[in-house]
Chain A
Amino acid sequence: MAEDPLLTIAGLRAGYGGKPVLQGIDLAIPRGEITAVIGRNGVGKSTLIKAIIGLLPPSAGSIRFGGREIGALTAHARARLGLGYVPQGRDVFPRMSVEENLKVGMSIRGAPNPDYDAIYGYFPILRERRRQAAGTLSGGQQQQLAIGRVLVGGPSLVLLDEPSEGIQPSIVQDIARIGVDLNRRTGLTIVLVEQNIDMIRAMAQRCFVMDKGRVTAELTPAMLDDRDIVRRHLAV
């Protein structure tokens, strides 16, 4: 992992108001890999992701992306550097059509004539529903839209926060397959926060465990194949 990680986090602290959540995170995300971050509810996984994308200001520590310190940048500046964020809960723009949602994701490129065919190729349902208001889609469709919306901007790192939450298994499998496919073909780096063991095993090449605002363990691919070990780290 010594060889040039895409994202390096050192001593990162952040929280809400006076409440500290991240208590000094150290993490290196290798370029071109799918890295999972697991841990029980409330240990600070989403908080970590929000701090990386820039929705939460760090109180200490550093975040380096592609060799550049980004801890003081706004979220939109980080997005323009190639960070993509798919939030827990999806957060589609509810009163805009599917295609308008994609248009927002595309705007980062400033392409005058947007071409959504690649995204519609991955998620055919989005083409079918492209004129429909995003708020009226099912949970699984919204998740596909949230992922398509960030991919259309051509990020080099995608932060996926619990993409399987509340979604039917067939769509979870699709998402895992597409993530792996993108990673293999384009070298897209993915950070995956997940509770779903099957999804972690289907996607991740490497896995960190978080507890109480710290990274407490790293699981090797071999350990990932052992359901019991993974389950123990996810146990509530």
Chain B
Amino acid sequence: MPGFDAVIGFLYQFGDAAAFLVLCASGLAIIFGMMGVINLAHGEFIMGGAYTTVTVAKLGVPLPLAVLCGALAAGAAGMVLERLVIRHLYGRPLDTIVATWGVSLIASQGTLILLGPSLSDISTPLGSVEIGALSYSVYRFVLMGVAAAILLGLYVLFNFTRFGVLARATIQVPHMAETLGVDTRLIYSLTFGIGAALAGATGGLYAPTMTLVPTMGVQFITEAFVTVVVGGGDVFLGTAPAGIVLGFIKSGMTTWEGQLAGQIGLLVAVILVIRVLPRGISGLMLRERA
């Protein structure tokens, strides 16, 4: 049944593309949406997470735990970066862009000097499954599930926990949260750490599927930015729908004309969105709700 295979094949491509966009953008979106910080070092947090995951996995640690180590390492590095650099630049978005760009260069070049041009990689786990006439990587299905689980987890974290309520209060009226007893610096630091940890987890999750090089962050950061620009500042109203819409465009164009067309489709989409919806999908939704 070629029709059936085509449909399943497309859904697989679509799910894979959407999961990738959501995973690589969610950390960037949290840091941008909650703190107004454009973090150009996002790709290097992904790289750091991937390197940590692979290094730990090679010591014999099971992959899920190794990914967790990658996330924690990136999160800790994020909190240190917030403490040393970002904190001094709140309210100065252009300075923050330059500073995080500098950090990004230092991190990728530093990795190149210290660890060489590439790290031997680990193989993709879980093998493949046949559906109809075609076979699919099981691990890719796991990634789709993890993307959905991370969105759900973030939703619960920011809506139903004490930390989430205090973080949203801090983001909405920082001086008022502070005078109600909220340690807003700690909230910013933890929020940045969570964004960085998500980047690290993304790197760890994709590490078994790709070659690890110090500049690998570049492969993620374009799509992360495209998703955040299209989605706007809200992770749930923005990043998730943007990941789905862009995943559809990318997988559709890729199926039709190949990888390059998929990339072109993404960039055309982002240009159109900037023209029509300057505050992204979530800007539109928030305006309509208000």
* Chain A residues within 8 Å of B, Cβ to Cβ: 53-55, 74-76, 78-80, 85, 87, 91-96, 100-101, 103-105, 107-108, 135-136, 149-150, 153
Contact = CB atoms under 8 A, between A and B. Distances in A.
Interface string B84-115: 00000000000000000000000000000000
Interface string B218-251: 0000000000000000000000000000000000
Given A100-B165, A135-B290, A150 B180 contact: yes
B168 to A, nearest CB: 6
Interface in B177-197: 177-184
Contacts, number: 75
Interface in B150-198: 162, 165-166, 168-169, 172-173, 175-184
Given A80-B181, A104-B166, A107-B180, 14 more contacts: A55-B178, A74-B183, A76-B178, A76-B179, A76-B182, A78-B179, A79-B180, A87-B179, A91-B173, A91-B175, A93-B168, A95-B286, A96-B172, A108-B180
A75 B175 contact: yes
Interface in B205-228: none
Contacts of B286: 95
B92 to A, nearest CB: 16
Contacts of A54: 178-179
In this complex, the member of B165, B172, B176, B182 whose beta carbon has the largest number of chain A beta carbons within 10 angstroms is B176
Contacts of A91: 173, 175-176
Nearest to A149: B180
Contacts of B179: 53-55, 75-76, 78-79, 85, 87
Contacts of A55: 175, 178-179
21 contacts: A54-B178, A55-B175, A75-B178, A75-B179, A76-B178, A85-B179, A91-B173, A91-B175, A93-B169, A93-B172, A95-B168, A95-B172, A100-B165, A100-B169, A101-B169, A103-B162, A104-B166, A105-B180, A108-B180, A149-B180, A150-B180
A95 B167 CA distance: 12
A91 B176 CA distance: 7
A75 B82 CA distance: 21
A94 B172 contact: yes
A125 B178 CA distance: 26
A58 to B, nearest CB: 16
A34 B184 CA distance: 30
Contacts of B184: 76
A93 B181 contact: no
A82 to B, nearest CB: 10
A104 B164 CA distance: 10
Nearest to B286: A95
A96 B175 contact: no
A176 B255 CA distance: 69
Contacts of A80: 181
B169 A76 contact: no
B168 A153 contact: no
B173 to A, nearest CB: 5
A76 B179 CA distance: 5
Contact of A107 (B173, B182, B290): B182
